[in-house]
């Protein structure tokens, strides 16, 4: 498809047309935290951010959501499934978060068994990605396989060239989103395309300075778990789960029922394999009773089980997990491991 251009001064027009057709989520600041939130009339997205504090997955996989409700009536128990899906546009998503959606798409459809809550939302969602002008400290997206200039899973990709964006339309959904405000777009001139290409080259050059070695992730993970560094890492882990809650690809959840006055609801909420009770069974047995065993599971899930079962790495290089309160940096530790050739 041809590349287009939209002036930054016309973005409000486009967003207004999108909001008339769908719920639009974009980066905003709420109480000092940048996150993806639904734009209300008059809201402007914060597009000059480095990366949101919380991941994009919250839009399609909420921290807490109601799955079903029930109520006892004279006619019997009435059960109602909850469907909150609606046409949605995600505007301004960074390539690492978009790549995270690719992992979740595969995880929530693994083996042909679909998670209906994820699928309903995802199928109604158009993703408009924004290429980073500069990498944030700690970002290593290309090392994790992220296409930083045209991420897979995006319907539209915007590249900042100063007073305008060069627009790459990557899908029919993306074309439909652009067509809503067709008068706001013009064909990108040759100098616009050159500016976009140079912006991408500059970004990749800066990212190369922050690259880490994640080649052979499965062998690297196994070598790490046998290395002297591993003992020091797992001994510091607090099993707090911050790394999982901030990760664009982590998707563990718990389900619980809440009853009140003859009715109730079934709730799904985030969980993490680092939790002490995540694998605790009804009889009291816990398959992973120690932080070492739980962190081992996390390492293997990200770098061995994910590539084996889903065909993609369980890390997108966003660097959010580096907010660990005890400064555990699994990816950096893995990159330092020497992977020996099999004899």
Taking alpha carbons only, the member of 116, 144, 109 closest to residue 309 is: 109
pLDDT band of residue 342 (cuts 50, 70, 90) is: low
Which ranges in 24-158 belong to alpha helices (H)?
Answer: 57-60, 95-107, 116-123
Cβ contact 138:323 at 8 Å: no
| Same-domain pairing of 201 and 276 | no
Alpha-carbon distances, residue 337 vs 145, 207, 294, 340 (angstroms): 19, 21, 20, 9
| Same-domain pairing of 67 and 114 | yes
| Same-domain pairing of 150 and 24 | yes
pLDDT band of residue 305 (cuts 50, 70, 90) is: very high
Kindly report, residue by residue over 131-164, the tens digit of the pLDDT. Answer: 999 998 889 999 999 999 999 999 999 999 999 9
Cβ contact 333:295 at 8 Å: no
How far is the C-alpha of 162 from the C-alpha of 6, rounded, in Å?
A: 11
| Same-domain pairing of 292 and 320 | yes
Cβ contact 255:266 at 8 Å: yes
Does the residue 97 lie in any domain?
yes
Which pLDDT score is estimated for 1?
A: 63
Kindly report, residue by residue over 186-219, the tens digit of the pLDDT. Answer: 999 999 999 999 999 999 999 999 999 999 999 9
Q: Is 56 a residue whose pLDDT tops 60?
A: yes
| Same-domain pairing of 149 and 259 | no
Q: Which domain holds residue 72?
A: 4-208
Sign of torsion over alpha carbons 96, 99, 105, 106: negative
Higher model confidence: residue 92 or residue 340?
92
How far is the C-alpha of 196 from the C-alpha of 164, rounded, in Å?
A: 10
């Amino acid at each position: 498809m041809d590349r287009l251009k939209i002036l930054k001064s016309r973005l409000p027009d486009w967003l207004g047309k999108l909001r008339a057709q769908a719920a639009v989520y974009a980066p905003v600041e709420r109480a000092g935290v940048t996150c993806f939130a639904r734009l209300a009339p008059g809201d402007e997205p914060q597009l000059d951010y480095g990366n949101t504090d919380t991941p994009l997955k919250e839009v399609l996989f909420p921290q807490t959501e109601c799955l079903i409700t029930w109520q006892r009536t004279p006619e019997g128990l009435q059960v109602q499934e909850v469907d909150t899906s609606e046409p949605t546009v995600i505007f301004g998503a960074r390539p690492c978060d978009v790549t995270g959606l690719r992992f979740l798409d595969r995880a929530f459809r693994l083996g042909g068994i679909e998670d209906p809550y994820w699928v309903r939302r995802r199928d109604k969602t158009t993703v408009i990605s924004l290429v980073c002008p500069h990498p944030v400290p700690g970002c290593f997206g290309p090392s994790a396989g992220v296409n930083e200039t045209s991420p897979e899973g995006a319907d539209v990709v915007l590249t900042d060239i100063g007073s305008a964006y060069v627009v790459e339309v990557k899908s029919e959904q993306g074309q439909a989103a652009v067509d809503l405000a067709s008068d706001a777009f013009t064909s990108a001139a040759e100098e616009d395309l050159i500016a976009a290409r140079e912006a991408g080259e500059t970004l990749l050059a800066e990212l190369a300075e922050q690259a880490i070695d994640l080649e052979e992730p499965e062998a690297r993970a196994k070598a790490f778990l046998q290395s002297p560094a591993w003992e020091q890492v797992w001994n510091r882990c607090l099993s707090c789960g911050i790394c999982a809650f901030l990760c664009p690809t982590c998707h563990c959840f718990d389900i619980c029922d809440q009853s009140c006055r003859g009715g109730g609801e079934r709730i799904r909420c985030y969980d993490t394999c680092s939790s002490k009770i995540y694998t605790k069974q009804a009889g009291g047995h816990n398959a992973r009773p120690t932080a070492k065993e739980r962190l081992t599971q996390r390492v293997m899930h990200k770098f061995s089980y994910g590539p084996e079962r889903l065909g993609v790495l369980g890390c997108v290089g966003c660097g959010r997990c580096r907010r660990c309160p005890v400064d555990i940096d699994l990816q950096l530790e893995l990159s330092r491991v020497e992977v020996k050739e099999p004899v």
